[in-house]
Structures are given as C-alpha cells and as structure tokens.
C-alpha cells in the first residue's frame, strides 16, 4: 500500500450489500473488514477509525455515488478507495477513477464483480506487492497473485491487438445493460460495423497494414464515442459499439410508462447516428502510411444500427437485427450504415 506505517491498519471498510459483489459473501465476514450497509454508518466509521482501504459496492448506490465519494474524500484520512462494479457499471467506475474533487482523486481503482473474498482482499491490501504485514516472501507471493489476476482479467475481456473489449465482454455487457434498461426504462443502441474491402488490404499490403487499419479504426472510434459507451472488436475486422444512457424517470400508470419508454427509445439513435457519422468522416481522413501514397482517404465502413425496443428485447435479438442491417448495407454497395426500423435505411439520409 502507498501508506505510511503509522496509517497502516490492515483493515478495510466495506460499504454496501456484499451479496451483490461476492460469490462467497459469508467469507467476507472472516476478513479484517468492517461491513456497513448504509452511508451514514459508513461515514461515521470512516471518521472514527483508521482504515487502510475503503471498498464500495456500486450496485444500489449508482445514483448517489458522486455524493458518496465526495463525502468519503473528506474523512478517509489516507485510505485508498476502491469501487466494486458489475460489468455494466465499469464505464461509470472508470470515470470516477479518472475524476477528481478539489484536485484529489475520488476513487483509486475498481474491481469487476462478482469476485471471491480472498481475491478481493489480496488485490486491495497488496496492490504494489509492498510488504504491509508478514514477510517479504508473502508480499512477493501476493504481488504475483495480483498480477496474475489483472493479466487473466485482461485476457478474458480485451482484444490484444486493439486494446478494445472483446466479443465475450461485449456480449455480457450488452446482456447486463439490456436487462437493466428493460427494468428501469433505459436506452441501448448497438452499432456493428466492419472495414470495407479489408481482405484486399491484407492481401495486397500485408498483415502489418491490416493490423494498422484495425488499430487506427479502434483509436478513432473511441475518440468519437462518449466516455461511457463501450467499444469492442468482436472478430476479424468487425467492431461493435454499445451506446447506453441512464434510465429515464418513470411515469405513473402503465400507459404513461409505456409511452415514455417508446419515446426514450426513439430518441436514442440520434446520438448513435451522430457518433457513427463522425467516425465515418474521421476514418475517411485517416492516413495509413503502410499503404503508401494511396493510403489517405480510402477507408470506409459498412454497418448496422439497432435499438432496444424496436422489435428487440434481448441481447440475441439486438445482435441479430444489427447483423441483418449490416448485411443489407454491404449488399447495397458498402460505405453506408443502415438503421433498423427506419424507412430511410441509410443513416446518411437521416437528419
């Protein structure tokens, strides 16, 4: 830990419903943790005790998390703050880790749930392999374990070429965010696209050029998206983007709620279309040095867009509809993105 010896206690303040975060919630009670179910108790405990770390279960606190972190930052007294996030909450957790309050980082790191109690404890108490309690040998063992955990997480969720999320992550994230959106009146739109004539570039210019195209596309797509949207490479030259927003306020009455849901779903593609058009423009200006003098302004994509609520209520239906739109875009001449459920089809025709 990056803590002085005077502040190191080896004890963790754990805030929230542990059953939502741990596969073995009962084992948490055996760790040197003080578990508090609500924020008043947590703030009181943080102000009266020296904790080495504070861990917050995000589920159930998402709407209040900003206030929670600001309050803890005032009383934490050197303790590092960790967020325990479900997969769909990872973009939010990343924002808090990169955010600050009065020039102080409000959260130090996060872990994806569900996880096991021992994994949680080792990661939080020995993030740098620095001895806090016990022998140097034990610290080295803990450091190795933490590195293995991070390495396995990366292998399981990231594409090694582009650094984007992989197909497995995109599918599971989509499942979780769709499940939440259906319950809480949220909005989800999926974009799937691939690089037009990618095989030609690979065959003529070599795989190094093909890799450069994929990495360039990944960088540009992330730059065009909002920070919480999730971008992934799901195979070959095929990419996916999950656009999602926080749930809309619920209305009273079944008819009002149903109407509001349809309205929210209908508005979402405008933002996704704007991002997709911006990406098409940026990709068209990209300079690909491995293609020589002809490597500027040659890249185009074909894609499909589909939103939750337009004949799609599951992750499978959303992917199927988006794939169909992508195939239709390619059959129609490439260099276009088709939107499911709109008579205009090509987003170029949508204002």
- DSSP code for 247: P
Name the nearest CA neighbour of 170 among 272, 319, 302.
319
With a CB cutoff of 8 Å and minimum separation 6, the contacts of 132 are 1, 3, 8, 10, 52, 125, 126, 139
- Of residues 229, 237, 245, 349, which has the active-site annotation? 237
Phi, psi for residue 126 in degrees, rounded to 5: -130, 55
State the Cα–Cα distance between residues 86 and 179, nearest whole angstrom: 13
Whether 237 sits among the annotated catalytic residues: the reply is yes
State the Cα–Cα distance between residues 304 and 319, nearest whole angstrom: 10
- What's the count of helices (H) and strands (E) in the chain, helices before strands? 11, 12
State the Cα–Cα distance between residues 24 and 9, nearest whole angstrom: 24
Q: Are 260 and 251 in contact (CB under 8 A)?
A: yes
Pair of tokens at residue 9: 């206690």
Name the nearest CA neighbour of 23 among 73, 84, 72.
84
Query: Within the chain, what is the greatest distance between any pair of CA atoms?
Result: 69
What are the catalytic residues? 237
């Amino acid at each position: 830990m990056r803590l002085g010896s005077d502040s190191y206690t080896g004890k963790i303040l754990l805030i929230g419903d542990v059953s939502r975060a741990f596969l073995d919630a009962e084992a948490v009670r055996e760790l040197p943790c003080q578990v508090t179910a609500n924020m008043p108790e947590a703030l009181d405990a943080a102000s009266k005790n020296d904790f080495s770390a504070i861990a917050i279960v995000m589920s159930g606190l998402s709407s209040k998390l900003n206030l929670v972190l600001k309050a803890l930052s005032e009383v934490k007294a050197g303790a590092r703050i960790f967020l325990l996030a479900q997969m769909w909450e990872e973009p939010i957790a990343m924002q808090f880790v990169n955010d600050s309050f009065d020039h102080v980082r409000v959260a130090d790191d996060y872990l994806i749930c569900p996880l096991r109690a021992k994994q949680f404890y080792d990661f939080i108490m020995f993030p740098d392999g620095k001895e806090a309690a016990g022998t140097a040998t034990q610290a080295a063992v803990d450091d190795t374990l933490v590195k293995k955990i991070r390495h396995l997480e990366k292998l399981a969720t990231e594409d090694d070429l582009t650094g984007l999320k992989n197909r497995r992550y995109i599918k599971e994230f989509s499942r979780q965010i769709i499940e939440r959106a259906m319950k809480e009146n949220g909005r989800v739109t999926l974009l799937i696209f691939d690089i037009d004539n990618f095989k030609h570039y690979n065959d003529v210019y070599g795989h190094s050029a093909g890799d450069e195209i994929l990495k360039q596309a990944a960088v540009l797509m992330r730059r065009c998206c909002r920070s919480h949207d999730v971008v992934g490479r799901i195979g070959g030259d095929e990419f996916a983007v999950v656009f999602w927003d926080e749930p809309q306020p619920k209305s009273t009455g079944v008819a009002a709620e149903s109407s509001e849901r349809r309205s929210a779903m209908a508005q979402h593609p405008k933002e996704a279309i704007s991002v997709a058009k911006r990406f098409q423009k940026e990709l068209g200006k990209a300079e690909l040095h491995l293609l020589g003098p002809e490597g500027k302004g040659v890249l185009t994509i074909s894609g499909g867009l589909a939103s939750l609520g337009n004949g799609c209520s599951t992750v499978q239906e959303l992917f199927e509809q988006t794939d169909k739109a992508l195939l239709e875009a390619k059959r129609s001449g490439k260099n276009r993105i088709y939107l499911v459920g709109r008579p205009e089809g090509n987003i170029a025709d949508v204002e």
